[in-house]
Structure 1
Amino acid sequence: MAMFLLIHGGGGSGWEWHLVAEQLRARGHEAVAPDLPIEDPASKFADLADAAVSAVGDASDVVVVGHSYGGFTAPIAARRLDARLLVFVAGMVPAPGEAPAQWWGNVGYENPGEGLSVTEQYLADVPPELAEESLRRGRDQASAEYNEPWPEPGLPDLPTRALLCRDDRFFSPALQRRLVRDRLGLEADEIDGSHCVALSRPAELAERLDRYFATL
């Protein structure tokens, strides 16, 4: 049994993981998905990581999962928790000293969903009622870390997986494959679904996370 620490993306909340958390618990695991203090203009990486780490308590066998922009916080939390596994889901894989604001240019980001609505770009295959709820629950990303150099000396030395979404209209599969090869030295795993795969395919995503832990 593992404790899954599920870290949301930019402008999001732990609610985005609620269906995956239910699925993981049904498989015998524990799961927490904290709301990071992204609406506080004083919050920096240390504050985001503090919120993530404190949600775990004294649990062991921790798996840290970072979705999208949560990829900047997930490795910090994983190192502090001496995690068993780190997983990026459609994640922004950071580099030492790189501010999130610099990431886009550094990785050669091109927007594959230009001209699409927010729903079409992020939530294309999410059931309409969940998509509406996701938009309602969106939060302002006002925290200060966006222009703060990523403070870690490198990614933590622990088993790491990266999962891309084949139907992602925000981070294209081509970008994710290249990013994962360049920054993790891995071949990305793949799953059907949009950028918000935790809402569109929670059972499939939970099964994949469960399998990653089982095969350590």
Structure 2
Amino acid sequence: MDFVLVHGTTQSPAGWGRVAKLLTAAGHRPIAVDLLTPAGLQFEGYVQHARDQYDGERPVVVAHSGAGVLLPAIAEALDARAMVWVAAYIPDFAGGRSLRDEAPALLEPDWIGVDPAADPAKASEFLFHDCDPETERLALDSLRLFDPAVLASHPAGAAPEIPSTVIVSTRDRTLRPDWMRRAARERLGVTAIEIDAGHCPHMSRPAEISGILTGSRRSA
């Protein structure tokens, strides 16, 4: 099976490295797309940019954090068989609000305004606090700010018909876990899988994430 891995707004594709190795070892093909593009690209351009980096059929598309804004559109463009939201923002399909509109309710207050790419100490505090020292070093090396205004301001479209799995990190210091649980139920109609991790479980709990992706664990 193919897995298209979409990085969030604070990491490069390197953040998926450990999960990708585990998926490969299990006989799957992971493709970590890179969303870094020229300035001024519109929403549809990011979707096409991800599409251009994949040459297979019917993958599982996995997104982290702010890339949840793009996940439904990328999944539809790739005719995905499933979507997986890893500590990822779930858009307001019914109300049409943007990530920026929902930020006050979604984000932990102390995270607002933090640029982890410019402050490794803040990155460790908010993103990688549950990582062991070696993992933390790798995670810090993967930092890269990717925060185009078009993603924050893009209004949500219609709810996708593609099946979803939602992974909520119970020790997330950036996105509020209670908000994420509720959004999974109300916006996608699923019960989230909860794991004991911070905002980047693909770094701190790669085996657990890989197990969920390959079906070793499934949402209720």
Please state which band the TM-score falls in when normalised by the shorter chain: 0.7 to 0.9
The one-letter code of the counterpart of 1:62 is P
| Change beyond 3 A, Cα 1:147–1:131 | same
Q: TM-score of the superposition, structure 2-length normalised?
A: 0.84
Please show how residues 129-168 of structure 1 align to structure 2 within 5 Å.
129-150=134-155, 153-168=157-172
CA drift at 1:196? 0.8
Counterpart for residue 206 of structure 2: 202
Runs of 4+ in structure 1 off by over 4 angstroms are: 112-116, 212-215
Measure, in 2, the Cα distance between the counterparts of 1:193 and 1:84.
Answer: 26
Counterpart for residue 125 of structure 2: 120
Measure, in 2, the Cα distance between the counterparts of 1:213 and 1:44.
Answer: 36
Stretch deviating more after TM superposition (77-86 or 130-139): 130-139
User: Could you report, residue by residue, the CA deviation over 1:149-202 in whole angstroms, capped at 9, with x for unpaired residues?
Assistant: 23x631321111111112212123212111212211221111221111111111
User: Could you report, residue by residue, the CA deviation over 1:89-140 in whole angstroms, capped at 9, with x for unpaired residues?
Assistant: 11101135433321314xx235165699331211012232332343343223
Aligned positions, number: 209
CA drift at 1:141? 2.8
The one-letter code of the counterpart of 1:99 is S
Measure, in 2, the Cα distance between the counterparts of 1:142 and 1:165.
Answer: 22
Please show how residues 7-156 of structure 1 align to structure 2 within 5 Å.
7-37=6-36, 40-57=38-55, 59-96=56-93, 97-105=96-104, 108-111=105-108, 117-150=122-155, 153-156=157-160
Structure 2: gaps spanning 5 or more residues: 115-120
Q: Does structure 2 retain, via aligned residues, the 8 Å contact 1:37–1:51?
A: no
Taking only aligned residues, the RMSD between alpha carbons, in angstroms, comes to 2.5
Measure, in 2, the Cα distance between the counterparts of 1:48 and 1:98.
Answer: 19
Q: TM-score of the superposition, structure 1-length normalised?
A: 0.86
The one-letter code of the counterpart of 2:8 is G
Measure, in 2, the Cα distance between the counterparts of 1:142 and 1:191.
Answer: 26
Q: Does structure 1 retain, via aligned residues, the 8 Å contact 2:9–2:147?
A: no
